[in-house]
Amino acid sequence: MKHAPIILALTAILSIGSAEGGVPESPRSGLDGQSISTPIDDGRGTPYVVNKSDNICGLDQPRQLTNPAKVDYDALLSATPEVKKIEKDKIDPKSSEGITLMTKARARVLKACESVRASSGHCSVWKDIKRRNKKAVADITDSVKRQL
């Protein structure tokens, strides 16, 4: 652990930067269960505020975005036949059958999002994305639901 002082110093510097109005952070869990903070705003100098984990399909680099769209991901999952089957048959989502059905539901939503993205000329689809100037980002949830 000869690098521990360096790590502590870097951690202190990063925490000072975020406390002084820097980039907002969102917690994640590391391999050992410890909390890791990552920046929500990955689009330095771009008009968008994003978290890369919210990208569904298309471009995921904020500096490349020109015409992104967003969807209500939970509503789309709920609209899939797989999730309806889980709810109807009261299948445990953590069981092997539940995991298989949820995987198929996510794949179905991804395929529908990609189809609508390509046909409507959007560069990417996100679960959550905001513009810095507060203008709305196109919501294509209804179009994607029709594809499901």
Question: Which pLDDT band holds residue 46 (cuts at 50, 70, 90)?
Answer: confident
Range of the domain at 67: 44-147
Q: What is the mean pLDDT of residues 83-110?
A: 96
Are residues 69 and 126 part of one domain?
yes
Are residues 117 and 131 part of one domain?
yes
pLDDT tens-digit series, residues 65-90: 999 999 999 999 999 999 999 999 99
Are residues 58 and 130 part of one domain?
yes
Are residues 79 and 16 part of one domain?
no
Q: Tokens 């994640």 — which residue?
A: 28
Q: What is the mean pLDDT of residues 123-143?
A: 94
Neighbours of 37 (CB within 10 A): 15
Are residues 57 and 111 part of one domain?
yes
Are residues 14 and 57 part of one domain?
no
Are residues 48 and 35 part of one domain?
no
Question: Which pLDDT band holds residue 145 (cuts at 50, 70, 90)?
Answer: very high
Question: Which CATH number does the domain housing residue 74 bear?
Answer: 3.30.910
Residues 110 and 57 sit within 8 Å (Cβ to Cβ): yes
